Amino acid sequence: MRKLLLTLALIAVLTVGCSNKNIVEPPSGTPEQNVEIQPEQNDDNQQDNQKPIIAPDFELNSPDGSTVKLSELRDKNVILNFWATWCGYCILEMPDLQKLQDAHADDLLVLTVNVGESKEEVEKFMEDNNLDLAVVLDEKMDVSNTYGIRSFPTTIAINKKGEAVKGFVGMLTYEQMEQLYSFFEE
């Protein structure tokens, strides 16, 4: 019974964020609590816990038709943000992602992955919100499925070696984004 309760609690915690197209705007008040993504733990072999996790490579098109391949971005640290225009928390965090990109333009790329929406929807959203972030389109949701994305927004920090160093499910504040940026090795 205890294991069942713990499992149900874990499922509730992991579903933080927008996970339903009916959610358009978050409730007023404080933003939701985000959940840190932790790699699976193996108590039998502590050395396995220290192995870097290489982010799965992908190739997606941006709205302008150019192709972005993750493995070709090894000269910059990457904040990978999975989002959708119907997700209220995604909308709220976009200006802070833009601010983070502007503050660290020399060695950071905030790469936003729009999940399941058309080029026209994404272009209109970016223009209406005066955003200049790098966007790629995961219209068939192949990349988000590969990454196991179930809630939006989900943000993953990938260093210059292609290693996923940290990740969060749920909306991040600007201060949390700066903390996430601090995980990159100099």
We report the CATH number of the domain holding residue 157 as 3.40.30.10
**3-state secondary structure (DSSP) of residue 59:** strand
Domain count, the chain: 1
Within 13 Å and on the Cβ side, how many CA atoms surround 113?
28
Q: Is residue 5 part of a domain?
A: no
Q: Is residue 57 part of a domain?
A: yes
pTM (2 d.p.): 0.78
| Phi, psi (rounded to 5 degrees) for 162 | 90, 10
pLDDT of residue 31 exceeding 80, the answer is no
- Average the pLDDT over each of 36-45, 60-69, 85-94, 122-131 and give the range with the smallest value: 36-45
pLDDT of residue 34 exceeding 60, the answer is no
Q: Is residue 22 part of a domain?
A: no
* Of residues 82, 72, 70, the one with CA closest to residue 112: 82
Q: Is residue 165 part of a domain?
A: yes
Q: Is residue 121 part of a domain?
A: yes
pLDDT of residue 44 exceeding 90, the answer is no
Cβ 34 vs Cβ 170: under 8 Å? yes
Within 13 Å and on the Cβ side, how many CA atoms surround 23?
17
pLDDT of residue 14 exceeding 70, the answer is no
Q: What is the mean pLDDT of residues 62-81?
A: 96
Q: Is residue 128 part of a domain?
A: yes
Cα–Cα distance between 94 and 100 in angstroms, integer? Answer: 10
- What pLDDT sits at residue 157? 97
Cis ω for the linkage preceding 153 (within 30 of 0): yes
In total, the chain counts a number of residues equal to 186
pLDDT of residue 125 exceeding 70, the answer is yes
Domain boundaries, position 163: 45-181
pLDDT of residue 5 exceeding 60, the answer is no
Q: Is residue 4 part of a domain?
A: no
Alpha-carbon separation of residue 179 from 27, 104, 158, 168 (angstroms): 25, 13, 14, 12
Q: Is residue 158 part of a domain?
A: yes
Cα–Cα distance between 100 and 113 in angstroms, integer? Answer: 16
Cβ 151 vs Cβ 169: under 8 Å? yes
Instruction: Give the pair of three-digit tokens for residue 66.
Output: 């150019």
Pairing of β 164-169 and β 154-158: antiparallel
Percent of the chain at pLDDT exceeding 70? 73
- What pLDDT sits at residue 185? 72
Query: Which DSSP symbol is given to 163?
Result: B
- What pLDDT sits at residue 51? 81
Quote the mean pLDDT of the chain. 82
